[in-house]
């Protein structure tokens, strides 16, 4: 016995409709005889038989559409050559189905249109490389202002930000309370670790890339402290000025005299900054540090500076720093005198070019006009980038700083 199957009449044919049988049951057929006409998409095609034998039965009726491989007739043969079995299991399609008008689709499916991005949320544009660097250094991109084309945050912005913004998550109040207390600690730990990493990266880079030079001077503070005492006498306790304020004020004025120390070293170029934003190093209780900027320090008098510093410290503790305060420092001051340190040998924050360190003001023997006396002496140390400035400029700066602190009246007027 042999099967006569619906043949594949072209590579793209999946089913065919039997138009007519050219034989009837009981007829004898010879190999290559045409025994059926089958309709495909192209035309009606005569189909031949590959066996000699007698038609045993016809299984498909004219008009019926069946899949390629469907057995359409059985042929009784005497001997069979190797039967060829189709690869795929055939299936029968009923004529009713096939007589339905083709091309009419079912009811149109409601296609849910892809959700549009919620309006109002602005995606921060960050270059892929900047994003990678930010992740590596634990920097929160939301705190950065981009300087690339169309405000894109690019790698240079990340370099500039290091490591300041990295600490933000540690000090910021989470926008929503964590659902599980257990999540808090690991998260905080992560922030700590991220901050540590960021500080490590920035400081390592500074030491690796920046050829530091250090200049140190001792400054007689007695005139400034006298002036400060008289000034504070005029004020209520809550408005009193801390001893660091005249130092910051003198620093800002000295920078206007020697502007080269105020600015950045970026892309192998020294870029001085017109605005003087003094980063003030604040140690955090959890460890780590942060150096938000007192913006436009040179334009502020002692009271304004005091207010600004108080505000900065408060907001640092509460997490309310603005991004410009985080990133815009053009120079940094580190005051460790409160902790009893005599001399600060600072490391510059890239890409800034200078850091001023203040130690503790201590009573020391001091000679002036050939007379030996005891004076409150402060050690001020300048760490500066030798690519941007030379020791001569640094010396001029420390000299200017000293002069302003010997003439404190000048500190008053902005």
Partner 1 sequence: MTNGDSGMRTLTYRDAVREGIREAIQKNERVFLMGEDVGRYGGCFAVSKGLLEEFGPDRIRDTPLSESGFVGAGIGAALGGMRPIVEIMTVNFSLLAADQIINTAAVYLYMSGGQFNVPIVIRMATGGGRQLAAQHSRSLEGWYAHIPGIKIVSPATIEDARGMLWTALQDPDPVLIFENSGLYNMEGTLTTDAGAVDIDTARVCRAGKDITIITYSASLIKSLEAAEILAQQGIETEVIDLRTLRPLDDKTFLTSIAKTHRALIVDEGCRSGSISAEISARIMENVFYDLDAPVERLCSLEVPMPYAKHFEEAVLPQTDKIVSLVQKMVGADG
Partner 2 sequence: MKTQRTGKRKAPVINHTHALHLLHGMSRIRRLEEKCAELYSATKIRGFLHLYDGEEAVAVGVLEALTGEDAVVATYREHAHALIRMGSAGTILAEMYGKQEGCSRGRGGSMHLFDEKTRFYGGNAIVAGGLPIAVGLALADKMLQRPRVTSCFFGDGAVAEGEFHESLNLASLWQLPVLFVCENNLYAMGTALKYTQAVEDLASKAASYAVDTAAVDGMDVLAVENAAKKATEAIRTSGKPFFLECRTYRFRAHSMYDPDLYRSKAEIEEWKKRCPIATFKQKMIDQGILSDSDIDTIDRDVAREIDEAVAFAEACTWEPLEDLTRFVHSERRMS
Binders of partner 1 among 36-65, rule CB under 8 A?
Answer: none
Structural tokens at position 331: 């120079």
Q: Which two tokens stand for residue 401?
A: 């700083």
Cα–Cα distances (Å) from 294 to 67, 145, 259, 351, in that order, read 82, 17, 17, 17
Instruction: Give the residue, chosen from 147, 183, 283, 318, that forms a contact with partner 1 under the rule CB under 8 A.
Output: 147
CB closer to partner 2, 38 vs 377:
38
Q: How many C-alpha atoms does 274 have within 13 Å on its Cβ side?
A: 0
Q: Which residues have CB under 8 Å from 271's CB, separation 6+?
A: 263, 264, 265
Q: Does 53 bind partner 2 (CB under 8 A)?
A: no
54 lines the binding site for partner 2 (CB under 8 A): no
CA 112 to the chain's CA centroid: 32
Closest contact distance (angstroms) between CB of 9 and partner 2 is: 4
Closer to partner 2 by Cβ: residue 12 or 233:
12
Stretch that binds partner 2, among 53-61, 80-88, 310-318, 402-410 (CB under 8 A): 80-88
310 binds partner 1 (CB under 8 A): no
9 touches which of partner 1, partner 2, none (CB within 5 to 8 A by kind)? partner 2
Report the distance separating Cα 71 and Cα 80, nearest Å: 17
Q: Which of residues 11 and 369 has its CB atom nearest to partner 2 in the complex?
A: 11
12 binds, among partner 1, partner 2, none (CB under 5 to 8 A by kind): none
Q: Choose among 4, 14, 65: nearest CA to 38.
A: 65
Strands ordered across the beta sheet of 65-67:
44-48, 34-39, 15-21, 65-67
- Binding-residue pattern over the window 93 to 112 for partner 1, x denoting contact by CB under 8 A: --------------------
CB of 182 to partner 1, least distance (A): 32
Using rule CB under 8 A, residue 130 touches partner 1: yes
CB of 55 to partner 2, least distance (A): 18
Q: If binding is defined by CB under 8 A, does position 1 make contact with partner 2?
A: no
Region of 2-10, 180-188, 291-299, 358-366 interacting with partner 2 (CB under 8 A):
2-10
Give the whole-angstrom CA distance, residue 35 versus residue 27.
10
Q: Is the dihedral of CA 347, 350, 351, 352 positive or negative?
A: negative
The entry of partner 1, partner 2, none that residue 68 binds, CB within 5 to 8 Å by partner kind:
partner 2
Q: Per DSSP, what are the bridge partners of residue 214?
A: 383
Interface pick for partner 2 out of 68, 261, 295, 382 (rule CB under 8 A): 68
- What token pair was written down for 342? 């005599």
When asked if residue 289 is in the footprint of partner 1 (CB under 8 A), the reply is no
Q: Which of 283, 291, 281 is nearest to 321 (CA)?
A: 291
Task: Specify whether the backbone of 22 is left (phi greater than 0), alpha (psi in -120 to 50) or beta.
Answer: alpha
Least CB distance to partner 2 at residue 59 (A): 17
Minimum Å gap between C-beta 325 and partner 1 is: 24
The interface mask with partner 2, positions 13-52, x = CB under 8 A, is: ------------------xx-------x-xxxx-xx-x--
> Is residue 215 classed exposed, middle or buried when 0-12, 13-18 and 19+ CB atoms within 10 A define those classes?
middle
Q: Which of 365, 313, 319 is nearest to 165 (CA)?
A: 319
Distance of closest approach, residue 82 Cβ to partner 2, in angstroms: 5
CA 251 to chain centre: 35
154/344 with CB nearer partner 1: 154
Say which entry of partner 1, partner 2, none residue 147 contacts (CB below 5 to 8 A, set by partner kind).
partner 1
Q: Does 131 participate in binding partner 1 (rule CB under 8 A)?
A: yes
**49: Cα separation from own chain's centroid:** 71
Both tokens assigned to 49 = 């038989």
Binding site for partner 2 (CB under 8 A): 5, 7-11, 31-32, 40, 42-45, 47-48, 50, 68-69, 81-82, 84-88
């Amino acid at each position: 016995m042999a099967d006569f199957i619906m043949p594949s009449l072209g590579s793209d044919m999946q089913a065919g409709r039997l138009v007519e049988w050219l034989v009837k049951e009981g007829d004898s057929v010879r190999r290559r005889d045409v025994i059926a006409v089958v309709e495909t998409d192209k035309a009606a095609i005569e189909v031949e038989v590959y066996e000699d034998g007698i038609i045993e039965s016809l299984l498909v009726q004219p008009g019926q559409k069946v899949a390629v491989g469907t057995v359409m007739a059985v042929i009784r043969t005497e001997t069979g050559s190797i039967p060829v079995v189709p690869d795929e299991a055939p299936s029968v399609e009923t004529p009713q189905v096939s007589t339905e008008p083709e091309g009419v689709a079912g009811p149109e499916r409601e296609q849910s249109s892809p959700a549009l991005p919620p309006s109002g949320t602005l995606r921060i544009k960050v270059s892929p490389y900047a994003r990678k660097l930010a992740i590596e250094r634990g920097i929160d991109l939301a705190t950065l202002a981009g300087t690339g084309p169309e405000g894109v945050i690019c790698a240079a912005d990340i370099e500039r930000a290091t490591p300041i913004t990295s600490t933000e998550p540690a000090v910021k109040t989470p926008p929503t309370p964590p659902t599980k207390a257990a999540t808090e600690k690991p998260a905080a730990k992560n922030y700590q670790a991220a901050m540590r990493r960021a500080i490590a990266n920035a400081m390592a880079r500074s030491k690796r890339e920046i050829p530091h030079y250090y200049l140190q001077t001792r400054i007689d503070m007695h005139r400034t402290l006298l002036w400060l005492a008289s000034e504070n006498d005029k004020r209520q306790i809550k408005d009193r000025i801390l001893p660091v304020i005249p130092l910051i004020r003198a620093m800002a004025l000295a920078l206007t005299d020697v502007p080269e120390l105020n600015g950045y070293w970026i892309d192998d170029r020294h870029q001085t900054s017109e605005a003087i934003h003094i980063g003030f190093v604040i140690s955090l209780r959890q460890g780590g540090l942060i150096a938000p900027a007192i913006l436009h320090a040179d334009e502020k008098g002692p009271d304004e500076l005091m207010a600004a510093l108080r505000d900065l410290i408060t907001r640092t503790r509460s997490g309310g720093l603005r991004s410009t305060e985080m990133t815009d420092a053009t120079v940094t001051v580190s005051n460790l005198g409160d902790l009893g340190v005599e001399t600060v040998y600072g490391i510059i924050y890239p890409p800034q070019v200078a850091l001023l360190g203040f130690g503790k003001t201590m009573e020391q023997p001091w000679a002036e006009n050939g007379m030996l006396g005891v004076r409150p002496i402060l050690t001020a140390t300048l760490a500066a980038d030798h690519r941007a400035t030379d020791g001569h400029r640094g010396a001029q700066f420390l000299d200017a700083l000293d002069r302003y602190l010997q003439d404190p009246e000048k500190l008053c007027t902005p």
